[in-house]
Structure formats: structure tokens, C-alpha cells
Structure 1
Amino acid sequence: MRLHDLVIRAARHNPAALAVHAPDGALSYGALDRLADRYSAALAAQGVGPGDRVLLWAPKSGRAVALMQACLRRGAVYVPVTESNPPSRLALISRGCAASLVVTDPSGGERAEAAGWDAAPLTTFDALLERAGADPAPAPFDSSPDDTAYILYTSGSTGEPKGVCLSHRNALAFVVWASDTLGLGPEDRLSNHAPFNFDLSVFDLYAAFHAGAAVFLIPQEMAYAPRQLVRFLREERLTVWYSVPSALTLMMSGGGLFDEGPPPALRACIYAGEPFPLPLAQQLRLQWPKVRMFNWYGPTETNVCTSYEVTEADLHRESPLPIGTMCSGDSMELMPGETEGEYDFWVSGPSVMLGYWGAPAHAGAYPTGDIVRLDAEGNLEYVGRRDQMVKIRGQRVELGEIESVLGAHPQVADVVAVVVGEGMRAALHAVLVGKDPGKPVSLLGLKQWSAERLPSYMVLDTAHFVDELPRTANGKTDRRRIAQSIG
């Protein structure tokens, strides 16, 4: 079984069933199948073949989903890049994975042209589709379940994004487990809150296709508009909601999530990507007693590898919710840490990635970089990180990439980036040493510099200059001291 087989199977079984509800219109399974075939023919005419990388740099849409399906049918690898990435970072990704083609919308084409685009060939969805002509789509390439299906680029600690390569088998190990756990069927209506470059979207799309259900794409401009999200949840009669806790928190505090009682159609609410403060999780559990709730955990490199179902018993809990037990067919290795009872968390199994693009294939267990402990019931509890990777509203951010960009500013001699606050109040703060005190750079100038090189969620919120960064006894930058002084 491969990811594109899911849509082909659903289209044959029930072509009239709703597959994708998107800002650019609705697609039945039959229509999605036909559009994917047309894009497959267009890719063939463009010379895209098995193993080639195709970047998708555009807002979420039905045609973007169809193009992903077309890439899979050609044996090509799709690489989703959210539109919040500036052209300079897109070019970095394009060159990094030696992309054969970049597909965008007209506004993206204008942005790239204005920035002096000089990477892979760039086209729009409409222009690409014209290449299909009247030719029938080529037969789907006989790809292996272990071939790379897609690459998700994440923030890199070295200053450059790194591509996580995932196979059909990797994705389906999680998707099939999740579908079975939730009992998904053709009548379900799933949300898609996360952008396509965020691994949460893998469940939204492929669990829906596996079940022959419908997925409802939430446009990025609505992603943190609480009242619109609550209205969307109710009006579209969603049965499964999946998002980062930050979105749920916003819907609770500013969207009137509980004003009208539990949404009648909703039967499952899942969150992942960051910790959910216990009082808020308990409030949600109390308000929606008949809705199943899950806390899912897993880095991009493993997708979801642990799961915990939040039940009525957790209303009496005083400690943070655990991340649960292993799932998706994965197993764990716990390496004793520096503190008694704490462990470095390693994961092995079918959902673990093939490796990073351009690096040797991954083998064996994957070190998540997370520190965990076990509770009395055998559930894993998340303790913290070993490195400088943080989460901003669920998005993975390596502080090293932000520091690399800011450190390249002509007026910056040294810099440290830290996160202050949690959840929706989390803010990126930079502490900088200037090269010339007589030529200070403003926060606006630093923001503009960053926005030209980083996606919007990695642009700093605040900054201040110091004469010298504080150091530890061994000469390393004292990040904890910096964070404490700001907080």
C-alpha cells in the first residue's frame, strides 16, 4: 500500500463522496482522482520523473492536494513549503534538495520574481496544468512502500533548514494506527488546521483518505482567528479536530468555544506539537464529556509515536498530562540521563524516517532529544529538551537558525535567541552585541532583515543590545541566565 493508493481506492469505491473541502472549492473523490491524473500528465510533460523533488509553495488548496497526489503517482517526491517562507528561504530549500520544479500561485510567482529568483524552474498551478493538454495520464509509477514520498523541511540548528525524508510506509504506519484507534469511517469530517509542511497535516489528509472521509482545509489566515475557527468547527459539522494546543487555547479564551455547549457532531479532539496546560486540558475535558480526547506526541522524524487518551480520571490530576505509551508500531529505548529517574528518549519502528535529505540513511533508533520519565502507570512524561530546539505555537524552531540569520546582519557581532513565555504568550527574544555602538540597529530593522530570510513564525518579537553576552564558567553563552533576566 502506498499513499496515493488511498485516493485511487476511495474514488473507485465512492467517487461522489466529498474528499476535500478547500478555500478554492470542494472536490469529490472522483474529481480529486481526475485532477491528480491531469497533474500527473502535466508533470510527465514537464519531465518530472521518479525520485524528482517538486516544491509546493502556496496557500492550502484542493489543487495543492491534487498535485501532491500527482507527485506520488509519478514516483516523485513532494516538498510542501508554507507561503510564510520568504523567497530566499525557499531558494535555500530548493537548492538544498536539488528540486526539479517549484509550483506556486500567481502571487508567489510575483514575490519570487521580485526577489530575483534564480533556483529551480518555477511555475504556477494553472500554467502547469496547461502542460497536460489532452493526453491521458501515465499509469502510476510502481513505487515501493519504502520509497521517499515527501520531505518535510524543519528548522536546522546549523542555520539552514533540514529535510526529513519520509516513506509511504513511515506515514502509513501512523495513519493506519490512528484510523483504527479513532474508528474513522466515510461519514467522518476531519479538520486540517496545520500547514502542509507541518507533520500534523499527515493525519488530516491521509487518515481521511484511508477512511474515505472528508478533510476540511483551514486557510492559514484563519489558523489563529478564534471566532472564525469556532464557527468553522460548528458550521462544517466536523467530527474530528486536530491542532496544536495553542489554537484550542485561543478558541477557549477568545472564540467562545463553550458558549453553545459541545459541538453536536464532534466525537474526537486531538492535540499535539506542544504541552497543553493542565487546567485548560481539564476544562476542555469537563466541557466536552462525550468527546474523546487524545494527547499525541512525536517529532517530525517519527510522526506520532506515543499517545495518551485524556479521560474523566484526569480531572483529578495535579501533575501535567503524560505523553502516554508507544503507538504506530514503534518501540522505545530509554537511556539513563543525568538526573535519576529521567531518560533520553529514543524511538525505533516503522514510523521512523528514512533520514535527512543529503545525509546518510538513518539506521536504528532515533534520538528524539527529549527527556522523559515514567509514571506509576507506565506512561511517559515529557520533561524537557537536551538541545536548543523549541516550539512556537507548535512549530518547531531551532534557535541556531534564528541566531545564524541575525548574526549575518552587518551591525551584529554576537547574538543569542531565547523563548520567553509559553503557549500563545511565547515570544522570541534576541539579545545582541553590536559591532558599532554608533550605528545601532532598530527592532524594526532586525524584523525586516529576519522576514526576508525566515518564515513569519521565526521572526523575533523583541530584542535588546548589550555590551557583552553573559558566559558560563566554561566560556559558553549562559542561555539560562539570559532567559531568566528577560523573563
Structure 2
Amino acid sequence: MICDRTYRYVVAILGVMKSGAGYIPVDIRYPSQRQRRILTQSGAPFALAACSVHPVDAPFPVHAIDDMPDRDDRPHSLPSSQDLAYVIFTSGTTGNPKGVMVEHHAFERVVACHNDNLEVTSESRSTLMAGTGFDVAQLEIASMLMAGGSLVLPDEETRLDPDQLLAFFARQRLSHAFVPTALVPAITARSQPSELTLTHLFTAGEKLLPPATGHLPYQLVDCYGPAEATIFATCHRVPGSETDDRPSIGHPMAGSDIYLLDESLAPVPDGEAGEIFIGGDNLARDIYTTSL
């Protein structure tokens, strides 16, 4: 699915899931070479163009969703819990894209846990901030669809400017929002609009150094996890730099198990440093190859 951050992407995801298929998001903003590499690796018979600009040349037919006729008689085939929901291509340790295969049961569990942790309801209004090729974007969309809430899309200029973003949150009466870790210091350091209705701001992507949060009218939530653990493996309600609490990645999401192990893969004693190992039902199925 060649896509950008517009309503077309949400429409395309719903269409694919209703057909019982899975999808591979390819952000139209990726460099052309990366787009072609992912498309070639996908082994897909065709691509959906869920974007407002013409995509790169693909090694198979590309069908624009805007050109598809409206029909009410298309067959629906609901996926099973073990079926593939999506494949996210990450850069990997070599720098070459690798596809992480996520099944519906893991995706649904993580989204449900996220909605429970952040008190998402049918009255919630949240963002689509993350780039479409990132797994967080899949969660932003599914969170609102699952709860029956509203998804609001900031434009590119607003998305990158902390002042405009805070004004956007207030103007759109958002209850929830995502920002990448790099934006958290700038967002939280600014004067918060008096009309802000935000209750939860969640973040992910890098290590978060806790900012001052005592003045914030909303809860800052830090999420952690590699794509192989289905978006987030842990979440943490950030207490802020005013406390003596050490930086933390918080507690495991439902379906994720966290282990701190030493070099011999034995659990480390309390207070000792170790390497994080993640297990549980939320682990991705596999790394994608055309033979799977």
C-alpha cells in the first residue's frame, strides 16, 4: 500500500482488512530507492495507491483507490486472530529494510491495552501524527477505530512546529495526541493553551529524559518497544523531573513479558544492570520473506 498521511490511508486499511488480507505500508515520502526496494521485497501481486500524488514505478500494477468504483456487493472475509494484519519494514541492523510480520491477535491486544491505559472512549479525539510507514501510525488509527473515536490529521507544517501543534490540539479539542520523543521537550516547555482539552500525550521512538510535568494539564505517557514486539512492549506514566524518580520504561503491556538477563541469559538480581529480552503473545510472527 503506497500511502501518505491522509484519509485515503484509513479508507485503504479498512478495505484491506474487510477483504481478509494484510498490508505493507510504503510511505510516499520515502526516497524512491527505498520505496522500490520494499515493493520488490514484498512479492505482492499489486499495490494500492492511497495517496494524493503519483507513486514511484512499481514492479507490478498500482491501483489508485480514488479511481475505484463504489460497490456495495464486494465480498467480506473477516480475518482470524492468527492472520497477518500488516508488515512494517524497518531499517534493521544492516540498514536494509526488513519486514516485521504482525498478526491480528497481537495488534488487537496492544491497541486494546493502549486504549485502556490512556482511557480512550468513543468521545475521544486523537491525532494521526506518525508517518504511515511507522507502526505507531497503525496504532493511532486503530485506537480510534476500535473505540469509535475521532481521528484528526494535522498538516505537515503544523506537525513539525511545537507552537502550531499545541494550538492545533486546542483548536481541534483533542483529548489524546502522539508526538515523537524529540518533540516532547519543546512541547512540554511551552506555555500550555488555556483552552487545551488534552488528557493524555503519549510518545515513543527514543529514550526520554523526563521533563518538568507539574504544570501540564495532561498526563505524559512514554511508550517503548521494537516493531518485533508489536509497536509497544511497555508504557510509563512520566512523573516529571520534579520528582526523584529515575527514568523508566514502565510496565509491560498486556501480552508482553519483559526479562532482564545477563550475558549467560540468567535473570539479574534486583538493582543490577541487564539486557532487556521481550517475550509473550505480542511478538511478531516472523521477518517477512516472499516464501512466507
Matches within 5 A, 1:75-474: 75-104=20-49, 105=51, 107-109=53-55, 112=56, 117-127=57-67, 129-130=68-69, 132=70, 135-252=71-188, 257-258=190-191, 260-261=193-194, 263-278=195-210, 281-282=211-212, 285-288=213-216, 290-302=217-229, 303-311=231-239, 315-317=242-244, 319=246, 321-337=247-263, 341-358=272-289
Question: Structure 2: how far apart are the matches of 1:318 and 1:210?
Answer: 34
Change (3 A) 1:259 1:138: closer
Change (3 A) 1:70 1:349: same
Question: Structure 2: how far apart are the matches of 1:118 and 1:240?
Answer: 37
Q: 2:13 aligns with which of 29, 44, 68?
A: 68
Aligned pair count reads 285
> Which AA in structure 1 matches 2:115?
S
Tell me how far 1:267 sits from its aligned partner: 0.9
Match of residue 430 from structure 1: none
Post-superposition Cα deviations, 1:33-82, rounded to whole Å, max 9, x if no partner, equal xxxxxxxxxxxxxxxxxxxxxx2x23211121011111111122211121
Tell me how far 1:210 sits from its aligned partner: 1.6
TM, length-normalised to structure 1: 0.54
Q: Is contact 1:304–1:328 with CA below 8 Å preserved after alignment? A: no
Change (3 A) 1:182 1:350: same
Post-superposition Cα deviations, 1:341-363, rounded to whole Å, max 9, x if no partner, equal 221211111221111101898xx
Q: Is contact 1:173–1:350 with CA below 8 Å preserved after alignment? A: no
Tell me how far 1:211 sits from its aligned partner: 1.3
Question: Structure 1: how far apart are the matches of 2:159 and 2:193?
Answer: 21
Q: Is contact 1:307–1:325 with CA below 8 Å preserved after alignment? A: yes
Question: Structure 1: how far apart are the matches of 2:201 and 2:235?
Answer: 13
Structure 1: segments with no counterpart, 5+ residues: 1-54, 362-487
Tell me how far 1:158 sits from its aligned partner: 3.1
User: Per the alignment, in what secondary structure is the counterpart of residue 333 of structure 1?
Assistant: strand
TM, length-normalised to structure 2: 0.88
Q: Which has the higher contact order (CA 8 A, sep 6+)?
A: 2
Q: Which protein is richer in helix relative to its size?
A: 1
Q: Is contact 2:6–2:153 with CA below 8 Å preserved after alignment? A: yes
Question: Structure 1: how far apart are the matches of 2:105 and 2:255?
Answer: 11
Question: Structure 2: how far apart are the matches of 1:333 and 1:260?
Answer: 41
Q: Is contact 2:228–2:283 with CA below 8 Å preserved after alignment? A: yes
> Which AA in structure 2 matches 1:316?
T
User: Per the alignment, in what secondary structure is the counterpart of residue 25 of structure 2?
Assistant: strand
Tell me how far 1:231 sits from its aligned partner: 1.7
> Which AA in structure 1 matches 2:243?
H
Q: Is contact 2:17–2:78 with CA below 8 Å preserved after alignment? A: no
Question: Structure 1: how far apart are the matches of 2:58 and 2:5?
Answer: 25
Q: Higher mean Cα deviation, 181-190 or 231-240?
A: 181-190
Question: Structure 1: how far apart are the matches of 2:155 and 2:24?
Answer: 19
Q: Is contact 2:126–2:151 with CA below 8 Å preserved after alignment? A: yes
Change (3 A) 1:106 1:172: closer
User: Per the alignment, in what secondary structure is the counterpart of residue 96 of structure 1?
Assistant: helix
